[in-house]
Chains A and B, each alone.
Chain A
Amino acid sequence: MSKKGGGAASILKLIVPAGKAMPSPPVGPALGQRGVKSMDFCKQFNDRTKDLVVETPTPVAIYIKPDRTFTFDIKSPPTSWLLKRAAGVTKGASQPGKQDVGTVSLKHIFSISQMKAKDPAMSHIDLKSICKSVIATAKSVGIKVVQ
Protein backbone atom coordinates (compact mmCIF):
# COMPACT_ATOMS: atom_id res chain seq x y z
CA MET A 1 0.00 0.00 0.00
CA SER A 2 2.98 2.35 0.28
CA LYS A 3 4.60 3.77 -2.80
CA LYS A 4 7.59 5.96 -2.13
CA GLY A 5 8.41 8.99 -4.24
CA GLY A 6 7.17 9.62 -7.79
CA GLY A 7 4.22 7.84 -9.29
CA ALA A 8 0.56 7.60 -8.34
CA ALA A 9 -0.76 9.14 -5.12
CA SER A 10 -0.33 6.91 -2.12
CA ILE A 11 -2.97 6.32 0.50
CA LEU A 12 -2.10 6.11 4.15
CA LYS A 13 -4.69 4.80 6.57
CA LEU A 14 -4.29 5.55 10.25
CA ILE A 15 -6.33 5.75 13.42
CA VAL A 16 -5.50 8.97 15.24
CA PRO A 17 -6.90 10.24 18.55
CA ALA A 18 -9.10 13.25 17.80
CA GLY A 19 -7.57 16.59 18.66
CA LYS A 20 -4.32 14.98 19.66
CA ALA A 21 -2.43 14.31 16.49
CA MET A 22 1.32 14.71 16.89
CA PRO A 23 2.83 11.73 18.65
CA SER A 24 5.83 10.44 16.82
CA PRO A 25 5.03 6.73 16.86
CA PRO A 26 1.72 6.58 14.97
CA VAL A 27 1.79 9.68 12.81
CA GLY A 28 5.32 11.10 12.53
CA PRO A 29 7.35 8.39 10.79
CA ALA A 30 4.44 7.22 8.63
CA LEU A 31 4.03 10.68 7.13
CA GLY A 32 7.68 11.62 7.19
CA GLN A 33 8.54 8.58 5.09
CA ARG A 34 6.29 9.92 2.38
CA GLY A 35 7.76 13.40 2.55
CA VAL A 36 4.81 15.05 4.27
CA LYS A 37 5.39 17.42 7.14
CA SER A 38 3.62 15.84 10.06
CA MET A 39 3.11 19.25 11.71
CA ASP A 40 0.97 20.41 8.78
CA PHE A 41 -1.18 17.33 8.92
CA CYS A 42 -1.58 17.49 12.68
CA LYS A 43 -2.72 21.12 12.62
CA GLN A 44 -5.31 20.44 9.94
CA PHE A 45 -6.46 17.24 11.58
CA ASN A 46 -6.83 18.75 15.03
CA ASP A 47 -8.73 21.62 13.50
CA ARG A 48 -11.13 19.32 11.68
CA THR A 49 -11.70 17.16 14.73
CA LYS A 50 -12.21 20.00 17.19
CA ASP A 51 -15.90 19.15 17.55
CA LEU A 52 -15.13 15.62 18.64
CA VAL A 53 -14.47 14.56 22.19
CA VAL A 54 -10.72 14.58 22.67
CA GLU A 55 -8.92 11.27 22.12
CA THR A 56 -11.78 9.62 20.24
CA PRO A 57 -10.02 7.17 17.92
CA THR A 58 -10.59 8.56 14.46
CA PRO A 59 -9.78 6.62 11.31
CA VAL A 60 -8.33 8.86 8.68
CA ALA A 61 -7.33 8.15 5.08
CA ILE A 62 -4.55 10.45 3.86
CA TYR A 63 -4.08 10.81 0.11
CA ILE A 64 -0.53 11.93 -0.69
CA LYS A 65 0.26 13.24 -4.17
CA PRO A 66 3.72 12.93 -5.74
CA ASP A 67 4.33 16.63 -5.13
CA ARG A 68 3.93 15.93 -1.38
CA THR A 69 0.68 17.77 -0.98
CA PHE A 70 -2.07 15.85 0.75
CA THR A 71 -5.76 15.68 1.42
CA PHE A 72 -7.50 13.51 3.96
CA ASP A 73 -10.91 12.06 4.77
CA ILE A 74 -12.10 11.58 8.31
CA LYS A 75 -14.41 8.70 9.12
CA SER A 76 -16.55 7.70 12.07
CA PRO A 77 -14.83 5.93 15.01
CA PRO A 78 -14.21 2.19 14.75
CA THR A 79 -17.43 0.18 15.20
CA SER A 80 -15.82 -2.13 17.74
CA TRP A 81 -14.86 0.87 19.87
CA LEU A 82 -18.41 2.27 19.72
CA LEU A 83 -19.86 -1.09 20.67
CA LYS A 84 -17.54 -1.49 23.63
CA ARG A 85 -18.50 1.96 24.87
CA ALA A 86 -22.19 1.24 24.45
CA ALA A 87 -21.80 -2.02 26.37
CA GLY A 88 -19.76 -0.28 29.06
CA VAL A 89 -16.79 -2.53 28.48
CA THR A 90 -13.09 -1.64 28.03
CA LYS A 91 -11.80 -4.81 26.45
CA GLY A 92 -13.38 -7.17 24.00
CA ALA A 93 -13.63 -10.90 24.63
CA SER A 94 -10.41 -12.87 24.42
CA GLN A 95 -12.45 -15.72 22.92
CA PRO A 96 -15.32 -14.17 20.98
CA GLY A 97 -18.11 -16.60 20.27
CA LYS A 98 -17.34 -18.56 23.41
CA GLN A 99 -17.44 -15.62 25.80
CA ASP A 100 -19.81 -12.72 26.17
CA VAL A 101 -18.29 -9.60 27.72
CA GLY A 102 -21.25 -7.28 27.38
CA THR A 103 -24.74 -6.76 26.07
CA VAL A 104 -26.17 -4.21 23.73
CA SER A 105 -29.70 -3.65 22.50
CA LEU A 106 -31.00 -3.26 18.97
CA LYS A 107 -31.63 0.40 19.78
CA HIS A 108 -27.91 0.84 20.42
CA ILE A 109 -27.20 -0.90 17.13
CA PHE A 110 -29.55 1.48 15.39
CA SER A 111 -27.83 4.57 16.85
CA ILE A 112 -24.39 3.24 15.96
CA SER A 113 -25.54 2.48 12.43
CA GLN A 114 -26.85 6.01 12.05
CA MET A 115 -23.39 7.32 12.91
CA LYS A 116 -21.77 4.94 10.45
CA ALA A 117 -24.20 5.87 7.70
CA LYS A 118 -22.74 9.39 7.65
CA ASP A 119 -19.43 8.06 6.29
CA PRO A 120 -18.97 8.77 2.58
CA ALA A 121 -18.02 5.13 2.08
CA MET A 122 -21.43 4.05 3.38
CA SER A 123 -23.50 6.54 1.46
CA HIS A 124 -24.84 3.96 -1.00
CA ILE A 125 -25.57 1.26 1.57
CA ASP A 126 -29.01 1.09 3.18
CA LEU A 127 -29.35 1.39 6.95
CA LYS A 128 -30.61 -2.17 7.34
CA SER A 129 -27.41 -3.58 5.83
CA ILE A 130 -25.30 -1.32 8.01
CA CYS A 131 -27.16 -2.60 11.06
CA LYS A 132 -26.44 -6.17 10.03
CA SER A 133 -22.74 -5.32 9.71
CA VAL A 134 -22.67 -3.76 13.14
CA ILE A 135 -24.37 -6.83 14.63
CA ALA A 136 -21.70 -8.99 13.00
CA THR A 137 -18.97 -6.76 14.46
CA ALA A 138 -20.56 -7.14 17.90
CA LYS A 139 -20.33 -10.89 17.47
CA SER A 140 -16.63 -10.63 16.63
CA VAL A 141 -15.96 -8.65 19.80
CA GLY A 142 -18.00 -10.91 22.08
CA ILE A 143 -20.81 -8.46 22.71
CA LYS A 144 -24.28 -9.97 22.74
CA VAL A 145 -27.11 -8.21 20.96
CA VAL A 146 -30.56 -8.46 22.48
CA GLN A 147 -33.95 -6.99 21.65
Chain B
Amino acid sequence: MFSRLAVAKRTSSIISRGFAVSPRLRSATASSSSSIAPGTVLKGLNIYKEGKDPVALEDKEYPEWLWTLLDEVPDEAKPEKERQRLQRSRVIKESNFMKSKKK
Protein backbone atom coordinates (compact mmCIF):
# COMPACT_ATOMS: atom_id res chain seq x y z
CA MET B 1 0.00 0.00 0.00
CA PHE B 2 2.84 2.35 0.78
CA SER B 3 4.41 1.72 -2.61
CA ARG B 4 1.13 2.53 -4.32
CA LEU B 5 1.04 5.89 -2.56
CA ALA B 6 4.58 6.53 -3.64
CA VAL B 7 3.67 5.70 -7.24
CA ALA B 8 0.63 7.96 -7.02
CA LYS B 9 2.78 10.77 -5.66
CA ARG B 10 5.37 10.33 -8.39
CA THR B 11 2.79 10.32 -11.18
CA SER B 12 1.07 13.35 -9.69
CA SER B 13 4.22 15.43 -9.70
CA ILE B 14 4.72 14.59 -13.37
CA ILE B 15 1.11 15.46 -14.21
CA SER B 16 1.17 18.76 -12.32
CA ARG B 17 4.07 19.99 -14.45
CA GLY B 18 1.61 20.83 -17.22
CA PHE B 19 2.65 24.35 -18.13
CA ALA B 20 5.87 25.57 -19.61
CA VAL B 21 5.74 28.88 -17.75
CA SER B 22 5.97 28.71 -13.96
CA PRO B 23 3.38 30.68 -11.97
CA ARG B 24 5.85 33.28 -10.69
CA LEU B 25 7.19 33.98 -14.17
CA ARG B 26 3.76 34.32 -15.69
CA SER B 27 2.47 36.84 -13.17
CA ALA B 28 5.60 38.98 -13.57
CA THR B 29 5.11 39.39 -17.32
CA ALA B 30 1.31 39.28 -17.36
CA SER B 31 0.47 41.91 -14.75
CA SER B 32 1.99 44.59 -16.91
CA SER B 33 -0.19 43.93 -19.93
CA SER B 34 -3.69 42.59 -20.32
CA SER B 35 -4.66 41.42 -23.79
CA ILE B 36 -7.54 43.87 -23.76
CA ALA B 37 -6.49 47.48 -24.18
CA PRO B 38 -8.31 49.97 -21.97
CA GLY B 39 -11.19 51.55 -23.81
CA THR B 40 -12.11 48.42 -25.76
CA VAL B 41 -15.81 47.75 -25.76
CA LEU B 42 -16.61 44.40 -24.14
CA LYS B 43 -19.22 43.28 -26.64
CA GLY B 44 -22.18 41.15 -25.77
CA LEU B 45 -22.23 41.86 -22.07
CA ASN B 46 -25.00 44.41 -22.05
CA ILE B 47 -28.44 42.98 -21.33
CA TYR B 48 -30.39 46.20 -20.83
CA LYS B 49 -32.30 48.00 -23.54
CA GLU B 50 -31.05 51.39 -22.40
CA GLY B 51 -27.54 50.29 -21.64
CA LYS B 52 -24.30 50.00 -23.51
CA ASP B 53 -21.68 47.29 -23.51
CA PRO B 54 -19.20 47.84 -20.69
CA VAL B 55 -15.86 49.39 -21.60
CA ALA B 56 -12.57 47.93 -20.47
CA LEU B 57 -10.81 50.04 -17.87
CA GLU B 58 -7.10 50.62 -17.29
CA ASP B 59 -5.28 47.62 -15.86
CA LYS B 60 -4.61 49.53 -12.66
CA GLU B 61 -8.29 50.10 -12.03
CA TYR B 62 -9.00 46.41 -11.63
CA PRO B 63 -8.35 44.77 -8.26
CA GLU B 64 -4.94 43.17 -7.76
CA TRP B 65 -6.27 39.68 -7.21
CA LEU B 66 -7.89 39.60 -10.68
CA TRP B 67 -4.52 39.02 -12.36
CA THR B 68 -3.68 36.14 -10.06
CA LEU B 69 -6.81 34.13 -10.90
CA LEU B 70 -5.20 32.27 -13.78
CA ASP B 71 -2.06 31.30 -11.89
CA GLU B 72 -1.43 27.63 -11.37
CA VAL B 73 -0.95 26.93 -7.69
CA PRO B 74 1.73 24.28 -7.16
CA ASP B 75 0.51 21.36 -5.09
CA GLU B 76 2.75 22.20 -2.14
CA ALA B 77 1.18 25.65 -1.77
CA LYS B 78 -2.37 24.35 -1.59
CA PRO B 79 -4.17 24.12 1.77
CA GLU B 80 -3.84 20.88 3.71
CA LYS B 81 -7.41 19.71 3.13
CA GLU B 82 -7.23 20.23 -0.61
CA ARG B 83 -3.93 18.37 -0.82
CA GLN B 84 -5.41 15.45 1.10
CA ARG B 85 -8.47 15.41 -1.14
CA LEU B 86 -6.33 15.37 -4.27
CA GLN B 87 -4.13 12.65 -2.80
CA ARG B 88 -7.16 10.52 -1.97
CA SER B 89 -8.60 10.89 -5.45
CA ARG B 90 -5.26 9.98 -7.05
CA VAL B 91 -5.00 6.84 -4.92
CA ILE B 92 -8.53 5.84 -5.85
CA LYS B 93 -7.90 6.42 -9.54
CA GLU B 94 -4.69 4.45 -9.31
CA SER B 95 -6.42 1.53 -7.65
CA ASN B 96 -9.28 1.65 -10.16
CA PHE B 97 -6.75 1.50 -12.95
CA MET B 98 -5.00 -1.46 -11.36
CA LYS B 99 -8.30 -3.27 -10.94
CA SER B 100 -9.34 -2.68 -14.53
CA LYS B 101 -5.98 -4.01 -15.69
CA LYS B 102 -6.52 -7.25 -13.80
CA LYS B 103 -9.63 -7.96 -15.87
Taking beta carbons and an 8 Å cutoff, which residues of A are in contact with B?
18, 50-54, 56, 76-77, 82, 85-86, 88, 105-112, 115, 127-128, 131-132, 135, 145-147
Which of A18, A51, A107, A131 contacts B34 (CB under 8 A)?
Answer: A107
Can you list 17 A-B contacts (CB < 8 A)? A53-B47, A77-B47, A85-B43, A85-B44, A86-B45, A88-B44, A106-B62, A106-B70, A107-B56, A108-B45, A110-B62, A111-B42, A115-B45, A128-B65, A128-B69, A147-B33, A147-B34
Q: Return chain A residues, CB-CB under 8 Å to B34.
A: 105-107, 147
User: Given A106-B66, A106-B69, A111 and B45 touching (CB < 8 A)?
Assistant: yes
Are the C-beta atoms of A107 and B44 separated by less than 8 Å? no
Are the C-beta atoms of B44 and A110 separated by less than 8 Å? no
Q: Is B49 an interface residue (CB 8 A)?
A: yes
Are the C-beta atoms of A51 and B49 separated by less than 8 Å? yes
Are the C-beta atoms of B62 and A88 separated by less than 8 Å? no
- Secondary structure of the B side of the interface? loop
New A-B pairs, 10, CB < 8 Å, besides A132-B69, A146-B35: A86-B43, A88-B43, A105-B36, A115-B47, A127-B63, A128-B69, A131-B66, A145-B70, A146-B70, A147-B30
Closest chain B residue to A126, Cβ basis: B65
Closest chain B residue to A89, Cβ basis: B44
Distance of A50 Cα from B46 Cα, bound (Å): 14
Closest chain B residue to A57, Cβ basis: B47
Are the C-beta atoms of B67 and A86 separated by less than 8 Å? no
Q: Return chain B residues, CB-CB under 8 Å to A85.
A: 43-45
Q: Is B54 an interface residue (CB 8 A)?
A: yes
Q: Return chain A residues, CB-CB under 8 Å to B36.
A: 105, 107-108
Q: Is B80 an interface residue (CB 8 A)?
A: no
Are the C-beta atoms of A53 and B46 separated by less than 8 Å? yes
Closest chain B residue to A134, Cβ basis: B69
